[in-house]
Structure 1
Amino acid sequence: MQTTETADKRRLLSTISHVAIFFSWTFASIGVPLSILFISDDPVVKANAKESINFHLSVWIMGAVAAVLLAIPSFLTLGLLGWLAGGIGFLWVSTMTVLAVMNALANPDEPFRYPLILHIF
């Protein structure tokens, strides 16, 4: 049976791993879950950190693919398609992150799995 301190630490580290995507849209944001992955000994925290890293990588890859696919049509339509795709992408990232944080806070013993992402790690 785990103590309250362990559960609180698990909640905090798992939440920080998932929220890191809002710290910055640069490569620095992946450093937070990566450092938690190497520092923590807790298997659930490690699983949440790995999932967060996979989510970051998936978002970057999907964003790059969308940018390439929308470059010419967006240029021809004065950027409307790009803004629409960016808005939908931002809503998806925000919604998935909020769901991950809610899961980390409500179920500290269970790692969150993002749907529709690449699982590299």
Structure 2
Amino acid sequence: MQTDSNLDKQKLLSAISHASIFISALFVSIGIPIGIFLVSEDPIVKENAKEAINFHLNVWLYGSIIAFLSFITLGLLGFILGPIWFVYHWGFSIWAIIHCINNSNQAFRYPFIFRVI
């Protein structure tokens, strides 16, 4: 059985891994879950950090595709796909943080992503 301090630490590190996407304009934001993955020994925290790394890569990939399509169509597809990408990016991240805080014994799995790691 885990102590309260270990459980709080698990919740905090898992939530930080997923919350790092909010500073994703900086490419160093992926370093936060990478660092947590390398330092932590807790398997739930490691799984959450790995999932956050995969989500970073997917958000950047989808954002690049939307930017390219927006450039090709002179911004027309950007008006349609941009808000969808925004909801995907922020909505799933908030959902992951809430899941980590409320259900700390299970790692969060993002839907609709490619898992590279």
Band the TM-score falls in, shorter-chain normalisation: over 0.9
* 1:104 matches 2:81: no
Cα RMSD of the aligned pairs, angstroms, is: 1.1
Structure 2 unmatched ranges of 5 or more: none
Structure 1 unmatched ranges of 5 or more: none
SS of the residue corresponding to residue 46 of structure 1 reads helix
* 1:80 CA displacement: 4.2
Cα distance in 2 for residues equivalent to 1:87 and 1:29: 22
* 1:20 matches 2:16: no
* 1:40 CA displacement: 0.4
Give identity over the alignment, percent.
46
Cα distance in 1 for residues equivalent to 2:108 and 2:30: 17
From 83, 86, 89, give the equivalent of 1:90: 86
Give 1 or 2 for the bigger CA radius of gyration.
1
2:58 — aligned with what? 58
Deviations 1:55-76 (A, max 9, x none): 0001111111222223221x1x
- Report how many residues are paired: 117
* 1:10 matches 2:10: yes
Q: TM-score, normalised by structure 2?
A: 0.94
